């Protein structure tokens, strides 16, 4: 007859504790910002499951707080309103260099932007767009910066039309209100009636970064949760819904190298009072 080992009540309690994730003694609340490529409602819908997952894994309350457009996003970023951010390489690099953020994890590979027109319009070069309406998300979005980089002569450039989201920019093209638009390349495959004119240079993919006020143990817990999403069923489901491959470790230098892209934007930061200054009337914020 096999022998039986009896466990003391203390041992049973210890075993039960080891069987569940260790949660912090007290839960704090942290705000995640996501760059406003999507509308506020759509951003909440798409990324709320990620916030919920991170809340479950870390034991802290983590919530999404969307911005209406890149003007609002840039202003709030420089006011230090965001604890955690998931956004493009140039923003991540800027915050690391100027606001003391730490990059925690990143999506693998790179991402580019595409200059597109309606499929019925045969446009072969960006030069053909000079003097014509071209839609883009407002500066300092990466799309606006990439569009500006195509034209080094202010007297020979398109009429820039700003939109709140990339989808709005595409809708302007398809409705005939704009001749072309600069949008994230991954979005183009979702529209059959678009013609790609030009694809920009790639940058590192979106990165997840944390403000220096976020405690070290929370940053470690977040990094562990993000990197491990592919390893558990719940995390894999969230990634599948987001159509993301998963997060991986990265380094500071990968992102600080792209902070200089903001120098090409027509919205610049006043270092003393951190106010946003729009330096081109054509790229003023969309009307309310």
The pTM is what?
0.80
Question: Does 145 map to a domain?
Answer: yes
Look at residue 5 and tell me whether its pLDDT is greater than 90. Answer: no
**Do 195 and 119 meet the contact criterion of CB atoms below 8 Å apart?**
yes
Q: What is the pLDDT of residues 47-97, one digit of tens each?
A: 999 999 999 999 999 999 999 999 899 999 999 999 999 999 999 999 999
Nearest to 119 by CA among 72, 181, 59: 181
The number of domains in the chain is 2
Same domain, 47 and 188: no
**Do 110 and 204 meet the contact criterion of CB atoms below 8 Å apart?**
yes
Query: What share of the chain has pLDDT > 90, as a percent?
Result: 74
As a whole number, mean pLDDT of residues 127-136 equals 96
Domain boundary among 201, 235, 257: 201
Question: Does 12 map to a domain?
Answer: no
Question: Does 15 map to a domain?
Answer: no
As a whole number, mean pLDDT of residues 195-215 equals 96
Question: Does 119 map to a domain?
Answer: yes
Q: What is the pLDDT of residues 246-259, one digit of tens each?
A: 999 999 999 999 99
Domain that holds residue 180: 113-201
**Cβ within 8 Å of residue 93, ≥6 positions away:** 255, 256, 257, 258, 259, 260
* For residue 100, cis peptide bond before it (omega within 30 degrees of 0): no
CATH number of 94's domain: 3.40.190.10
Measured CA to CA, the distance from residue 249 to residue 223 in angstroms comes to 8
């Amino acid at each position: 007859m096999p022998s039986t080992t009896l466990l003391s009540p203390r041992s049973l309690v210890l075993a039960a504790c080891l069987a569940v994730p260790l949660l912090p003694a007290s839960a704090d609340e942290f705000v995640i910002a996501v760059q406003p490529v999507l509308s506020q409602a759509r951003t909440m819908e798409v990324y709320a499951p990620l916030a919920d997952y991170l809340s479950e894994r870390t034991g802290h309350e983590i919530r999404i707080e969307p911005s209406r457009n890149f003007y609002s996003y840039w202003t709030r970023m420089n006011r230090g309103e965001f604890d955690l951010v998931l956004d493009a390489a140039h923003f991540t690099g800027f915050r690391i260099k100027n606001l003391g953020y730490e990059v925690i994890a990143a999506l693998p590979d790179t991402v580019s932007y595409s200059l597109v027109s309606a499929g019925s319009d045969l446009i072969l070069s960006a030069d053909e767009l000079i003097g014509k309406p071209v839609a883009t998300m407002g500066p300092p979005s990466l799309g606006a910066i990439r569009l500006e980089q195509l034209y080094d002569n202010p007297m020979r450039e398109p009429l820039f039309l700003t939109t709140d989201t990339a989808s709005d920019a595409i809708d302007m093209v398809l409705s005939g209100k704009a001749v072309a638009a600069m949008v994230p390349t991954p979005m183009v495959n979702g529209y059959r009636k678009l013609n790609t004119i030009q694809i920009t240079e790639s940058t590192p993919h979106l990165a997840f970064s944390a403000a220096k006020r976020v405690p070290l143990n929370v940053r470690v817990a977040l990094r562990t949760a993000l990197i491990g999403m592919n390893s558990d069923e719940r995390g894999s489901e969230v990634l599948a819904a987001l159509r993301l491959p998963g997060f991986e470790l990265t380094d500071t230098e990968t992102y600080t190298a792209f902070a200089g892209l903001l120098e090409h934007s027509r919205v610049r930061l006043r270092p003393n009072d951190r106010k946003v200054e729009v330096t081109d009337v054509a790229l003023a914020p969309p009307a309310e």
